[in-house]
Amino acid sequence: MALTNGGAATPAPASGGSNLVLILDYGSQYTHLITRRIRQLSVLSLCISGSAPLSAITALSPKAVILSGGPHSVHLPSAPSFPDGFLSYVQENGVHVLGICYGMQLLVQKLGGVVDVGEKQEYGKMEIEVQKESALYAADEVGGHQTVWMSHGDEAVKLPPGFEVVARSTQGAVAGIEDRKRHFYGLQYHPEVTHSTKGMETLHRFLFDVCGLSSDWKMQDVLEEEIKTIHSMVGPNDHVICALSGGVDSTVAATLVHKAIGDRLHCVFVDNGLLRYKERERVMSTFESDLHLPVTCIDASEQFLTALKDKEDPEMKRKIIGREFIAVFDDFARNLEKQLGKRPEFLVQGTLYPDVIESCPPPGSGRTHSHTIKSHHNVGGLPKDMKLKLIEPLKLLFKDEVRKLGSILNVPESFLKRHPFPGPGLAVRVIGDVTKGDALDTLRQADEIFVQAIKDAGLYDEIWQAFAVFPSVASVGVQGDQRTHAYVVALRAITSEDGMTADWYYFDHKFLIAVSNKITNSVKAVNRVVLDITSKPPATVEWE
């Protein structure tokens, strides 16, 4: 399927229905997992707000729609729902609909059934029994039990006309329903979660046997389509600026755009004073020797740190950093204009799909949300009056997909395996004022010791992201038989598939002891090391 609309990378409408699965998000913490599970089966899936207007759905022309779970109750007045006309549209166009958890209850209620508070709430691992052969379950599954992941307090107590029950929980609650004639299906559990032991088999049956989809979404096709998109967006004489952070995302984005337009791409790496230990030297060496990208390095550290002085609010820091980045890019563009006789029109960014999803809160969350896929600017808070037009060629991809794309583009494997680094840099790892005292230098030293120890132990590739945090908290200690009042450093290391959810990495105690000792012995300003053992959710990966 073509990815069009320039850097926005939204699917092109296709006459007669496309090979696209569209997920309407109602706030489940597992919604992104549905997106990923479907993509793992080589089918393109996209996620938009569950209250998106009908026009946003019809423009994408999906072959199937999945209604996600969510924390809401359908019988409450504030319960979010799909738009008016949705049910008529999917029936008239032969679109298959699968409701999961809340999504199933929403289908039941809107089609004339009844959903009520369950006599027994079901959360976590539960058993279901497949009661009959159906579109969702094979004949050899009938009478058998499956372990599934439940998360509901309400249940369907009366089904709409045309529906039949195909699975129940061992407590008697409706677990699977379908109306084959009208292409409506429902699961009261989460098939996308690994705890649902046969969940992927059920999704596979729905996608390929029920919907008739093809497994034709490949990274090579994404590459070719994105190059076409860039050609359609960027004129033959236009020039483009790429903001390189030194991370995987911006580097793959730059390599892709460079492949499309060659030396009309002008990369800029900005030292904003918020980089890791020797990051500037290491990254520039890689750009020049391995990637052969045209990169200009600009030292704007004084500019950024001056603007950040005395600023403690995390969102304010992000906006300031975004503003200063664009000021640097605009200045770079003006200088290029003098050299080229033509001002660059575009700015490339390595925005990923998790950024997009997290920038579009689901209905009922109490947060402002967009009905369409919108840009989440990964340098933080870009100004509305920005003169450069954005190109975001990775906007529909998860991190592991970006790495696959990078491999096709011959980006060195060692570079592709680098841990993610946030656009605002160490500003989100120093809590509060980043310019206060020696916070940045202290953090750099501790972070380098931690990450290098992970590499030396052969653990780097097992971990999604590892870093140190400077909480700006001092503690009492004893060093050299003297009482000290020095700073605390927190260590964070996580495992994840895509950055949307994460668990903390379980280090051996001896490793942690060695790292703690080395930090407190080598970094004078630190006398205490703590380990962050919080998953995402409830925490985010970064501290700010």
10 membership: H or E segment, kind and range? strand 10-11
247 is in an annotated binding site: yes
Q: Which of 47, 101, 267, 360 is catalytic?
A: 101
Phi-psi region of 163 (alpha: psi -120 to 50; beta: other; left: phi over 0): beta
Q: Is 190 a catalytic residue?
A: yes
Find the largest Cα–Cα distance for the chain: 80
User: What are the beta bridge partners of residue 348?
Assistant: 242, 391
Sheet holding 346-348, edge to edge: 295-299, 265-271, 240-244, 346-348, 389-391
- Residue 362 CB partners (closer than 8 Å, separation 6+): 25, 26, 27, 31, 49, 50, 68, 70, 80, 369
Query: Rounded CA gap, 8 and 4, in Å?
Result: 7
Count the helices and strands in the chain (H runs, E runs).
15, 21
What value does the CA radius of gyration of the chain take, rounded to a whole number of Å? 25
Tokens for 27, please give them.
Answer: 């706030």
**Half-sphere exposure at residue 212, Cβ-oriented, CA atoms within 13 angstroms:** 7
- Residue 76 CB partners (closer than 8 Å, separation 6+): none
The string over 211-236, giving b where at least 16 C-beta atoms fall within 10 Å of a residue's C-beta and e elsewhere, is bebeeebebeebbebbbebbeebbee
Tokens for 341, please give them.
Answer: 């006789």
> Among 431, 18, 63, which Cα is nearest to 211's?
63
Q: Which of 190, 204, 266, 377 is catalytic?
A: 190
Query: Rounded CA gap, 50 and 343, in Å?
Result: 41
* 362 contacts 318 by C-beta, under 8 angstroms: no
Q: Is 101 a catalytic residue?
A: yes
Query: Rounded CA gap, 126 and 145, in Å?
Result: 10
- List the Cα angle 396/401/402 in 5-degree steps: 80
Query: Rounded CA gap, 96 and 161, in Å?
Result: 17
Query: Rounded CA gap, 434 and 130, in Å?
Result: 57
Query: Rounded CA gap, 46 and 356, in Å?
Result: 11
Query: Rounded CA gap, 362 and 52, in Å?
Result: 10
Q: Which of 192, 226, 392, 544 is catalytic?
A: 192
Query: Rounded CA gap, 148 and 30, in Å?
Result: 14
245 is in an annotated binding site: yes
248 is in an annotated binding site: yes
| Main-chain dihedrals φ then ψ at residue 131, nearest 5 degrees | -95, -20
> Among 261, 217, 230, 218, which Cα is nearest to 5's?
230
**Half-sphere exposure at residue 194, Cβ-oriented, CA atoms within 13 angstroms:** 2
Can you tell me whether residue 64 is helix, strand or coil?
strand
* 532 contacts 504 by C-beta, under 8 angstroms: yes
Q: Is 164 a catalytic residue?
A: no
Provide the annotated active-site residues.
101, 190, 192
Known binding-site residues equal: 245-251
Known binding-site residues for ATP equal: 245-251
